[in-house]
Structure 1
Amino acid sequence: MSDNPVDMRDGATIGANELLARAAAEDLRAFRALTVAVDDFFLPEESRLDERTRSALGGLLRNLVETVESEVREHAVRLLSARNAADQAEGLAGEESQVLARLMRSGLLRDSELMAELMARVRQELIGSALPMHAPDDPERPSLINRYIQHPDRVLATGAMAVMIAESRRRGSPESGQLAQSDLPAELHHRLVWWIAAALRERVAGQAGEATIDLDRALIDAAQRSLSAYDEGDRLEAAAMRFAGAIEAQPQELPQLLVESLNDRRIVLFTALLADALGIGYELAREMVLDPAADRLWLALRALDLGRDPIAQIGYALCEGDPRRDLEAFADTLDTIASISADAAREALAPLKLHPDYRAALQALERTEKAP
């Protein structure tokens, strides 16, 4: 018998319970992983993200979170330092950021409106960068946007310059990977800022113990500063819509403007010109342009009375820029598209001009099961 007997039963019991809890958690993780894998396996091929889109979407999401996080964190650190909360300032500034990972785990980034916007933005940029290059008929003739920058009409020149500035801002810094701003619609930027502030608070609050009031105030002030400084009107899409409205393209001018904007690989400007001519919002026009089936786009072009040749040029450019599109299928249907009368096309598109919230409500009802 030992001279110093120790009862190990409590320790063994605790150890066994911990192992059982870990095993149960592992079973749950394995089940969730299997569920995701099964869902992925049965996902229709046409709904599956290709690697290029998946990679671009991941990069955009990371850059957006890091851009907003850096802005909120840096200002909060300055506020905490000025308010004699050095320990919390050091905690907020010192550790490697885990904000993106925390938001991913939380499920907040699964927000359907946020992901719809990011997906559309990624696809828009990928198609735009892959559009075929076109040498101008006249080598001395400037590109569409540069011609307007040199335009004697100050409104047009200013609008064209605003588009170029917004394009540069959208690309961000190639060295840091951070963006000049989120360039999101205001409501989505608002959500992202508060999610990031909450994630930063959670990460530092454990070190601060109960003395979190200074941390909370600093993060709230930093978030509100980010929100007050954000101007949705600076977004590339907003600048393009203002420019398209300033052009006031006449029916005889519109086909060439649309074709030339794609030739210049400015898909945002193409979309804005289309939206302005149809009298609809940018987001709806973007849906038409990005839809690989493109039925609504062809109807829209015919509603604007575009002829066979400009429709062919637009269709060819989009097929070249988007691997999801079938060039042969488009060629086979081109004559049918051209044969649709402008009046018939306008009548078919009439529901798209309804109030956006009304249309969204109708679509929401259609997606639900109808009552017996």
Structure 2
Amino acid sequence: MSVGPTMQDAMPSYDPVQRAEAARLRAETRLAGTITDFFLDAEARIDDRTRLMLAQVLGAIVGAIEWDIRRHAARLLAGAGATEAGEAILKAGVGTVLQRLTRAGLLRDEDLMDELIARVRHDLIAASLPVEVAEPDEASLLVRLAGVPDSIVASAASALLAAESRRRVANEQGAVGGSELPAELHHRLVWWVAAAIRDGLTSPTRESDRAITDAAQRSLAAHDEGERPDAVATRLAAALDARPNELPAVLVESIGDRRLSLFVAVLAHALGIAFDQARAITLDPEGDRLWLALRALDMDRPTIARIGLALSEADPRRDIEQFADALDAIVSIGVEDARASIAPLALDRDFRMALRALARTERR
């Protein structure tokens, strides 16, 4: 008479053929990855610090979205009396969403990775910038701006202080309070995560699909890209609206105050380009486009030198000696020539993407 599961029943099934095939596939995947990594150009390979933080940020964003969707979907199902289905959503496939999205290749999305890599590099460089204070007892630039009589500037400066503080704490703790992605990318990622959660269910039902959908839409509705540090910095730059004679001091002080987002936003506002474009040229280790942008704004030698030296100290990819050797040539570039060279940066983003796609096609 049977009184319960036997030892054989309790043991996990072991199919040696299946296990051997799985091991072979893993070995092939590892080899392919190793070969790809070996042949990467040195310039294309990210350093360990950037890789670690990128993985941390991506994992935290996906995890935050996942749990928002899981919890709310489970709550909806429990409220409808489907407690077991709610528990299944909370438990099924937990910890595998990031892996599922990675295996599917969805996280290789160029726009998503471009944004995340830029964000990580921006934050790492900002944290490494040398601090330059004009006077020992002088408050930092943002603190001073938060106390000016102009309420619009003061409000935006206070908001940037808060936004950057949240970002800094999130980076230190390896967690995020929200995705802090542009709306389009957040929208894309939310539905990918929702699909991965659904894919992890053993027996998805119409009710569970509806609950996951409603939870995803709730996440989309709650997302406010205006709270992102770059959006707040953009508002502050617009409120400041630095005049040509004020620009050098604002740019240098932003860098000296380790407020790279404000530097980028002020640069973008002065050039009439998008924040992400200004960030891209600021993070570019060669710096050619940044020097052209600064010359287009008629920045003088001392201003360009201070900015270049600070960025070189903060970013190990930059060659400070090469910058020093090129400084005379940079300063000799005419303002109008510099403006003409960076004019394409001011084009509509979709227009630029279309032109780039055509150029790639013609090169094939």
Match of 1:336 in 2: 329
The number of equivalent residue pairs is: 350
Would the aligned equivalents of 1:131 and 1:262 in 2 still touch at CA under 8 Å?
yes
For residues 318-338 of structure 1, give each alpha carbon's deviation from its aligned partner in whole angstroms, at most 9, with x where no partner exists: 000000000111011111111
Q: CA deviation at 1:362?
A: 1.2
Match of 1:363 in 2: 356
Distance, in Å, in 1 between the alignment partners of 2:322 and 2:168 is 34
Match of 1:253 in 2: 246
Residue 258 to residue 74, structure 1, CA distance change in 2 (3 Å): same
SS in 2 for 1:47: coil
Match of 1:71 in 2: 68
Distance, in Å, in 2 between the alignment partners of 1:177 and 1:26 is 32
Would the aligned equivalents of 1:148 and 1:160 in 2 still touch at CA under 8 Å?
yes
Residue 172 to residue 194, structure 1, CA distance change in 2 (3 Å): farther
> What letter is aligned with 1:141?
E
Residue 173 to residue 128, structure 1, CA distance change in 2 (3 Å): closer
Residue 122 to residue 176, structure 1, CA distance change in 2 (3 Å): closer
Match of 1:46 in 2: 43
Quick one: which of 191, 199, 206 aligns to 1:194? 191
SS in 2 for 1:368: helix
Matches within 5 A, 1:267-282: 267-282=260-275
> What letter is aligned with 2:125?
I
Residue 251 to residue 60, structure 1, CA distance change in 2 (3 Å): same
For residues 15-57 of structure 1, give each alpha carbon's deviation from its aligned partner in whole angstroms, at most 9, with x where no partner exists: xxx7556555544443332222111111111111110011010
Quick one: which of 127, 130, 144 aligns to 2:128? 130
> What letter is aligned with 1:182?
S
Distance, in Å, in 2 between the alignment partners of 1:131 and 1:99 is 36
Match of 2:223 in 1: 230
TM-score by length of 2: 0.91
> What letter is aligned with 1:322?
D
Distance, in Å, in 2 between the alignment partners of 1:166 and 1:198 is 30
Match of 1:91 in 2: 88
Across the aligned residues of Structure 1 and Structure 2, the Cα RMSD in angstroms comes to 1.9
Quick one: which of 22, 31, 37 aligns to 1:34? 31
> What letter is aligned with 1:90?
E
Would the aligned equivalents of 1:172 and 1:180 in 2 still touch at CA under 8 Å?
no
Quick one: which of 110, 113, 132 aligns to 1:112? 110
Match of 1:298 in 2: 291
Residue 220 to residue 176, structure 1, CA distance change in 2 (3 Å): farther
Would the aligned equivalents of 2:57 and 2:171 in 1 still touch at CA under 8 Å?
no
In terms of mean alpha carbon deviation, does 260-269 or 93-102 score higher? 93-102
Q: CA deviation at 1:370?
A: 4.5
Distance, in Å, in 2 between the alignment partners of 1:294 and 1:370 is 25
Match of 1:347 in 2: 340
In terms of mean alpha carbon deviation, does 156-165 or 254-263 score higher? 156-165
Match of 1:121 in 2: 119
For residues 103-156 of structure 1, give each alpha carbon's deviation from its aligned partner in whole angstroms, at most 9, with x where no partner exists: 22221111111011000000000100111122x232332211111110101111
Would the aligned equivalents of 1:66 and 1:178 in 2 still touch at CA under 8 Å?
no
Q: Is 1:82 aligned to residue 99 of structure 2?
A: no
Q: Is 1:100 aligned to residue 98 of structure 2?
A: yes
Distance, in Å, in 2 between the alignment partners of 1:172 and 1:68 is 19
For residues 171-213 of structure 1, give each alpha carbon's deviation from its aligned partner in whole angstroms, at most 9, with x where no partner exists: 3557964311100010110111111111111222x1xx3x611
For residues 247-304 of structure 1, give each alpha carbon's deviation from its aligned partner in whole angstroms, at most 9, with x where no partner exists: 0101111011001101111111100000000000011111100100110100000110
In terms of mean alpha carbon deviation, does 305-314 or 164-173 score higher? 164-173
For residues 218-249 of structure 1, give each alpha carbon's deviation from its aligned partner in whole angstroms, at most 9, with x where no partner exists: 11111111101111212111111111011010
Match of 1:11 in 2: none
Distance, in Å, in 2 between the alignment partners of 1:249 and 1:219 is 47
Match of 1:151 in 2: 148
Specify every segment of 5 or more residues in structure 1 that has no aligned partner in the other structure, as ranges: 1-17
> What letter is aligned with 1:356?
R
In terms of mean alpha carbon deviation, does 169-178 or 211-220 score higher? 169-178
Distance, in Å, in 2 between the alignment partners of 1:334 and 1:368 is 36
Would the aligned equivalents of 1:73 and 1:92 in 2 still touch at CA under 8 Å?
yes
Would the aligned equivalents of 1:160 and 1:243 in 2 still touch at CA under 8 Å?
yes
Q: Is 1:316 aligned to residue 313 of structure 2?
A: no
Would the aligned equivalents of 2:146 and 2:155 in 1 still touch at CA under 8 Å?
yes
For residues 45-104 of structure 1, give each alpha carbon's deviation from its aligned partner in whole angstroms, at most 9, with x where no partner exists: 111111001101000011111111121111111111111111111122245432112222
Distance, in Å, in 2 between the alignment partners of 1:302 and 1:44 is 31
Distance, in Å, in 1 between the alignment partners of 2:87 and 2:26 is 35
In terms of mean alpha carbon deviation, does 260-269 or 92-101 score higher? 92-101
Match of 1:142 in 2: 139
Would the aligned equivalents of 1:170 and 1:183 in 2 still touch at CA under 8 Å?
no
Q: CA deviation at 1:369?
A: 4.3
Distance, in Å, in 1 between the alignment partners of 2:64 and 2:169 is 10
